[in-house]
Amino acid sequence: MKQLHLSRRNLKRLFSSPSGQRYAKENGSSGGIKCDSELCPVQKPSWRCFSYEEIQKATKGFHQDNLVGRGGYAEVYRGELEGGQEVAVKRLTRAATEEQKEKEFLTELGTAGHVSHPNVIALFGCCIDQDLHLIFELSSRGSVSSNLHNENLPTMAWKLRYKIAVGTANGLHYLHKVCQRRIIHRDIKASNVLLSDDFEPQISDFGLARWLPSEWSHRAVAPIEGTFGYLAPEYFTHGIVDEKTDVFAFGVFLLEIISGRKPVDGSHKSLLSWAKPYLNEGEIESLVDQRLQNDYDINQLKRLTFIASLCIRASAACRPSMNEVLDLIGDGELSAEQWKMPDEEEEDFWGFDDLDDSDTPLLTSSSSSSSSMGSF
């Protein structure tokens, strides 16, 4: 089916018209409209439209000094609104086509504008003048990726890593199970989890997110987008998306924060293939980032590696839900017996380097390495 493409002028008209407001409402964003409390008992977050002058002024004309991050689709600038509120202005820059850019924009607006949780980034609004912009709360410490992998920053302490694992699990649980509609993020990774001043993780970047109607078990999407190294096998090979797609990526994310290794690096050995023998043999201490110099909590390590080993199972049905992850991350029993694979299913892992190059689908630009300007 042909995608609806709105010219920039029509996009503007849409946002200023009653039908545009209806669009925002139907897509889960209140857009500043007051909800009738009987029709809409849940307090929805509200966002507003910003003028270009406002964001231009806030970012000092998108000055390079204010550039705090760059992903596959966007550049993000720090800004300060009149009154002192700090914001992050995401300017969509790099989609293949104008249609794709608008699709990403509307997807992110409709999803991020609908959610409200301490471990999910808060949307303040948008601006469609000159370019497409989304305005978020500023995560003052940048992404988990930049904090974990930037050699110029101090090694991230175990306590922080554990806090990030727990907070991200809470955020993902909220998206899957608590907010009004099931949201599949589709791009959970260390550069899309940001850190507040007190290192509270905040899931961000909803450009690829999908709603999942409650009566559907999954949906098939094309093209396959996301980030190599975090993609679940059923999604990578058949485009099948459901909560377990995110659970798989969360497992990779856990291994990344435990080990301090990137999911794929220049060595052609994926994090999963590297970690697999250690998980199989129960040599979990070999997984820990050596920069920690053995300064970690062994019980927490046992919990996180147990959860990671379940989340990265090749069979989606044998992965835990985020409810179960939260239980295990709390004080749930780590019972290998309870989580034993059914006899007909072989305990199996998925390693990206098992694939030939010819098997590699074309990924969107979000699969290119996203860079960050570091913490600020």
Ligand X SMILES: Nc1ncnc2c1ncn2[C@@H]1O[C@H](COP(=O)(O)OP(=O)(O)O)[C@@H](O)[C@H]1O
Residues labelled as active-site residues: 187
Tally the C-alpha atoms within 13 A of residue 36's C-alpha that lie toward its C-beta. Answer: 2
Residue numbering of the annotated binding site for ATP: 90
Q: Is 192 in the site for ligand X (CB under 6 A)?
A: yes
Piece in contact with ligand X (CB under 6 A), picked from 10-18, 157-165, 215-223, 364-372: 364-372
Nearest CB to Mg ion, comparing residues 111 and 192: 192
Cα of 138 vs its chain's centroid, Å: 16
Binding mask of the shown chain, residues 42 to 81, with x at each position contacting Mg ion by CB under 5 A: -----------------------------x----------
Q: Is 76 in the site for ligand X (CB under 6 A)?
A: yes
Q: Is 194 in the site for ligand X (CB under 6 A)?
A: yes
Binding mask of the shown chain, residues 113 to 142, with x at each position contacting ligand X by CB under 6 A: --------x--------------x-xx--x
CA distance 268 to 52: 44
Q: Of residues 46, 107, 143, 364, which one binds ligand X by CB under 6 A?
A: 143
Provide the minimum distance between the beta carbon of 111 and ligand X in the complex, in angstroms, as a whole number.
12
Give the number of other Cβ atoms within 10 Å of residue 237's Cβ. Answer: 14
Nearest CB to ligand X, comparing residues 121 and 257: 121
CA distance 345 to 348: 8
Alpha helices in 139-266 (DSSP H): 144-149, 158-173, 233-238, 243-259
Nearest CB to Mg ion, comparing residues 71 and 320: 71
Cα of 189 vs its chain's centroid, Å: 6
Q: Is 205 in the site for ligand X (CB under 6 A)?
A: yes
Piece in contact with ligand X (CB under 6 A), picked from 202-210, 326-334, 343-351, 354-362: 202-210
Strand residues in 11-118 grouped as ranges (E): 48-49, 67-70, 74-80, 86-92
Piece in contact with ligand X (CB under 6 A), picked from 188-196, 287-295, 320-328, 335-343: 188-196
Piece in contact with Mg ion (CB under 5 A), picked from 11-19, 190-198, 256-264, 286-294: 190-198
Nearest CB to ligand X, comparing residues 54 and 234: 54
For 109, 150, 168, the CA distances from 260, given in Å and listed in that order, are: 32, 10, 17
What kind and span of H or E run contains 10? helix 8-16
Piece in contact with Mg ion (CB under 5 A), picked from 88-96, 154-162, 198-206, 294-302: 198-206
Residue with tokens 């993609």: 231
Residue with tokens 């997807």: 107
Residue with tokens 């001043």: 197
Strand-strand pairing, 201-203 and 193-195:
antiparallel
Q: Give the CB-nearest residue to Mg ion.
A: 71
* The residue type at 108: E
Q: Is 31 in the site for Mg ion (CB under 5 A)?
A: no
| 134 interface partner picked from ligand X, Mg ion, none, CB below 5 to 8 A per type | none
CB–CB of 48/32 below 8 Å? yes
CB–CB of 250/169 below 8 Å? yes
Q: Is 192 in the site for Mg ion (CB under 5 A)?
A: yes
| 147 interface partner picked from Mg ion, ligand X, none, CB below 5 to 8 A per type | none
Region 146-165 residues binding ligand X, contact defined as CB under 6 A: 146
Strand-strand pairing, 371-372 and 240-241:
unpaired
Query: DSSP label at 320?
Result: P
The size of the interface with ligand X (CB under 6 A), counted in residues, is: 26
Provide the minimum distance between the beta carbon of 140 and ligand X in the complex, in angstroms, as a whole number.
7
- List CB contacts of 174: < 8 A, sequence separation 6 or more: 115, 117, 119, 120
Q: Is 90 in the site for ligand X (CB under 6 A)?
A: yes
Residues that bind Mg ion (CB under 5 A): 71, 192, 205
Give me the residues that bind ligand X (CB under 6 A), please.
Answer: 68-74, 76, 88, 90, 121, 136, 138-139, 142-143, 146, 191-192, 194, 204-205, 207, 366, 370, 372
